[in-house]
């Protein structure tokens, strides 16, 4: 028979079993952490009607969307988890209780040009808090605190959540009389890290934006404000009293910084950074980006902010919210590339491989059942293979314990158990073996998924 | 602004938060149980190249597939998890160790005619064991044992895993000289439950299949063999010695039945049933279907079997396997319709709602952190709402505990905690409150997800 060469589409991550186990571990930490903060899991369809999904219309993403006909229906695959959330909240408004806190970890699709480290199918892991009409500023501090907790639980240490407030930016541009141009200016300033201050200044003064040199200098001076959080906040005090929106933003930023500390986020893991604006128009208050301090070239691995109208394309109700999104697939890829995934954590499919040495398998099956009831992942190896091949099977997969069960052991009521890492072999009763294995596994599971 | 009416496509399940929590619980039981049996999690792309996905070609499913162009690429959404597994194993053969045991819980897509309880996007939860060249018969007993364990852990009691062996059927038809017609006959016999023996006989004798009445009677007599497993196996002994394939199938069936008992599956939860054939051609040995005894009208909720060539369209290597699939979305729908989802299990997004009664939130935030560190899901309610509205928020969401934290409590080093179910209120130190809440939650979490 002619064979079809199997392949996986480029831009689609398909992991081997060991890295997949690491990915599962990360997802489990995300689910658990988000749950601890009172977020409920949601799962919305991958496919939506194109008119619903693209109600907001246009933009960069539209070209990248997977859109197709099925029968009479014009369908699209979701390109983020925010639009489906907006639809969900508008559609089920009467069945929800506000503030509504949800997390969603799901695949989204963007037909970007394929390149290393860019994915067309990728997981986003989002949390959002949606208010009905109003939403307290405390949420804008809690959101990055959750990200701090998530990343530290994963083992990440050298990261920084950078925080700013759009009202400060809008107010600042207003007091310069540049409100009309603030969108263009912010998009330009957003490139500061990539292109440097001189090129930013040149773009600000080119034909399109056409600022005076004095205006451009004023902006560069403003975004150059840096230092410890108290220093930045103190420098911002110098602008207070000249614009209402600015003053409101500054008050919010002060509150967020205060509560971030109360939520236990250490000073080294967050920074007020006036260059953060977020490209998207719909952010209206606090905005966040998160960078890995040793890998700034990666850009933000977790971004979000406060918005005033989640679902304005579906409903007249004002539904303000605050949310943040981890680009999980890309983050996982980067962690792997940088050698930051802890290789010492078990990635084997089982904790114990049982090798029955008798014709009748009842005793081996009974032992497997006992191990599983004790929460130990156990696999029976009943294939017709040589003993050596079976031990090598455990070795290849990294299964930490191998149990041999022959007539002698069964008669004596013991099991022979080999620790594959140390080579140490014990002959103990089943209960004692289970105790020993569980202690050993607890030791092996001790580390975090991410190194440093 | 003109609004787009939000809607979700028909045939796509989108759950409200409370039922979604139930679904998550079920998925967590599946993941944990599959892991205990040594299965490794896999995650393959939802989109595959059409030529790869449809290498096997044709069939009923092809019409239902979501297939589309993106740029030059001809793409399709996966319609099951078996074809992607075949591709995965063929593609990554050199990186895998056999027997390869994997589970996958993922969404698949079939553009079926929309009707109640039928879904176009639905979860399948599959386990498969793939051998390289050979695979022991023990696996064919372990697979249904895992399903038994999964369903009982979920709380399901009144279900039956029905087991047969294709070699018995093929051998039986061979000894009647009806090998050529065995496919047609099995497809007809498969309808026995739905249309009854008389209609089956009529179809067997119609122009197309054209059996003699004697042959049809012989078949009906054979598939009428029923009773306890030992009785069925004893009746099958009567056919032994007339066909090699039959004898091999009978030996396999005897082994599977013996080991099913060794794996701890109670006699009432499995039955040898000679009418089970499974429509798909690729099953070659043991086959399974699982029915809810009180809802036979639903048909099989979990099916699978033994196959000899998982990846024959991609590779010359013989990769036999045994696997089974739960149609999770449909099962969840049916359980909900039948009122079989345990309403007593908590579905709230949080275990505790904290109501800060002071201007400064530091104490409340500190308490939330302490609760979370103790593994308690805690939410702060800092919105500007009346006290009564905040308590009603907890009530609506079913949050079991509400903590009030005012100046007095903070000064006294205690917290006021109300059990929303009993109305009982305590004023205890934080550690004692945490202890009490954890004990209460353990009690509330005691039940299984599924009733009966």
A 166-225 residues with CB below 8 A of B? none
Alpha helices by DSSP H, A190-302: 192-204, 213-223, 229-237, 244-262
**Confidence (pLDDT) at B225:** 95
CB contact under 8 A, A383 and B136: yes
Give the tokens for residue B82: 């078996």
Based on its alpha-carbon atoms, the radius of gyration of chain A, rounded to whole angstroms, reads 27
Q: Does A377 touch chain B (CB under 8 A)?
A: yes
Given an 8 Å threshold on Cβ–Cβ distance, is B87 in contact with A6? yes
A351 to chain B: nearest residue by CA?
B38
Mean pLDDT of B431-450: 96
Place of tokens 């009978």: B250
**Backbone angle region of A227, left / alpha / beta, with phi > 0 → left and psi within -120 to 50 → alpha:** left
For range B261-282, the mean pLDDT: 88
* Residues in chain B within 8 Å Cβ distance of A381: 99
Output the average pLDDT for chain A: 94
* Minimum distance, in Å, between the CA of residue A370 and any CA atom of chain B: 11
How close does chain B come to A46, measured CA to CA in Å?
A: 8
Confidence of residue B298 (pLDDT cuts 50, 70, 90): confident
pLDDT tens-digit readout, B178-215: 999 988 888 888 888 889 999 999 999 998 999 999 99
Per CB-CB distance under 8 Å, the chain A contacts of B6 are: 52, 86-88, 90-91, 311, 314-315
B383 in reach of chain A (CB within 8 A) = yes
Nearest CA in chain B to A71: B111
Q: Does B57 touch chain A (CB under 8 A)?
A: no
The mean per-residue pLDDT over the stretch B120-137 comes to 97
Cβ contacts of B48 within 8 Å, gap of 6 or more:
A8, A9, B75, B76, B78, B83, B84, B87
Q: How many CB atoms lie within 10 A of CB A396?
A: 11
List, for residues B148-172, the tens digit of each pLDDT value.
999 999 999 999 999 999 999 999 9
d(Cα B168, Cα B247) in Å, to the nearest integer? Answer: 7
Put simply, whether B35 touches A (Cβ < 8 Å) is: yes
Residue of B nearest to A83 (CA): B6
Mutate to test the interface with B, among A30, A36, A39, A145 (most CBs of B within 10 A): A36
B263 contacts A369? CB cut-off 8 A: yes
Cβ-Cβ contacts under 8 Å, A42 against chain B: 17, 20
Q: Check whether B135 has a pLDDT greater than 70.
A: yes
Record: contact B369-A138, CB cut-off 8 A: no
pLDDT at position B96 is: 98
Q: Is the pLDDT of residue B117 over 90?
A: no
Interface check for B153 against chain A (CB to CB < 8 A): the answer is no
Q: Check CB contact under 8 Å for A42 and B87.
A: no
Q: Which helix (H) or strand (E) element contains residue A24?
A: helix A17-36
Structure ipTM: 0.95
Tell me if B66 sits within 8 A of B111, measured CB to CB.
Answer: yes
Q: Does A97 touch chain B (CB under 8 A)?
A: yes
Q: Look at B316 and A3 and tell me if their CB atoms are within 8 Å.
A: yes
pLDDT value, residue A392: 97
Q: Name the residue in chain A with its Cα closest to that of B121.
A: A45
CB contact under 8 A, B349 and A264: no
Domains and their CATH numbers in chain B? 12-130+309-341 (3.30.930.10), 352-444 (3.40.50.800)
Report the chain B residue with the minimal C-alpha distance to residue A91.
Answer: B6
Q: Which residues of chain A have pLDDT under 50?
A: none
Note the pLDDT of residue A186. Answer: 84
Please report the pLDDT score of residue B48 as a whole number.
98
Whether B280 has a pLDDT exceeding 70, the answer reads no
Model confidence over A29-85: pLDDT tens digits? 999 999 999 999 999 999 999 999 998 876 677 889 999 999 899 999 999 999 999
Q: Would you place residue B112 in the very low, low, confident or very high pLDDT band (cuts 50, 70, 90)?
A: confident
């Amino acid at each position: 028979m002619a064979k079809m060469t199997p392949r996986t589409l480029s831009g689609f991550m398909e992991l081997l079993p060991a890295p997949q186990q690491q990915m599962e571990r990360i997802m489990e930490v995300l689910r658990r952490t988000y749950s601890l903060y009172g977020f409920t899991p949601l799962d919305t369809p991958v496919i939506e009607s194109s008119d619903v999904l693209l109600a907001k219309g246009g933009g960069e993403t539209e070209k990248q969307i997977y859109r197709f006909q099925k029968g009479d229906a014009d369908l699209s695959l979701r390109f983020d988890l925010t639009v489906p959330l907006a639809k969900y909240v508008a559609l089920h408004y009467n069945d929800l209780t506000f503030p509504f806190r949800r997390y969603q970890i799901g695949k989204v699709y963007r037909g970007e040009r394929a390149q290393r480290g860019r994915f067309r199918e990728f997981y986003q892991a989002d949390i959002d808090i949606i208010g009905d009409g109003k939403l307290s500023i405390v949420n804008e501090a809690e959101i990055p605190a959750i990200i701090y907790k998530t990343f530290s639980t994963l083992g990440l240490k050298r990261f920084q959540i950078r925080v700013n407030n759009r009202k400060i930016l809008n107010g600042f541009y207003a007091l310069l009389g540049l409100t009309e141009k603030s969108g263009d200016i912010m998009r330009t300033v957003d490139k500061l890290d990539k292109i440097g201050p001189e090129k930013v200044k040149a773009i600000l003064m080119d034909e399109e934006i056409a600022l005076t040199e004095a205006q451009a200098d004023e902006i560069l001076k403003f975004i150059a404000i840096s230092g410890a959080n108290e220093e930045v906040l103190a420098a911002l005090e110098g602008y207070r009293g000249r614009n209402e929106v600015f003053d409101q933003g500054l008050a919010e930023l002060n509150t967020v910084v205060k509560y971030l500390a109360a939520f236990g986020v250490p000073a080294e893991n967050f920074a007020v950074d006036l260059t953060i604006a977020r490209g998207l128009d719909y952010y209206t208050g606090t905005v966040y980006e998160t960078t890995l301090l040793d890998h700034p070239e990666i850009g933000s691995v977790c971004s979000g902010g406060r918005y005033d109208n989640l679902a304005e394309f579906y409903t007249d109700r004002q539904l303000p919210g605050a949310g943040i999104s981890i680009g999980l697939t890309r983050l996982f890829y980067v962690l792997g590339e940088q050698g930051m995934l802890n290789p010492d954590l078990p990635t084997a499919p089982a904790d114990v491989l049982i090798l029955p040495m008798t014709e009748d398998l009842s005793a081996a099956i009974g032992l497997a059942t006992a191990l599983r009831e004790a929460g130990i992942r156990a696999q029976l190896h009943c294939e017709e293979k040589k003993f050596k091949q079976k031990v090598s099977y455990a070795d290849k997969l990294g299964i930490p314990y191998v149990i041999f069960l022959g007539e002698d052991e069964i008669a004596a009521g013991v099991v022979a158990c080999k620790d594959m890492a140390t080579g140490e072999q014990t002959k103990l009763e089943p209960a004692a073996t289970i105790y020993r294995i569980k202690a050993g596994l607890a030791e092996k599971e001790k580390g975090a998924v991410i190194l440093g």
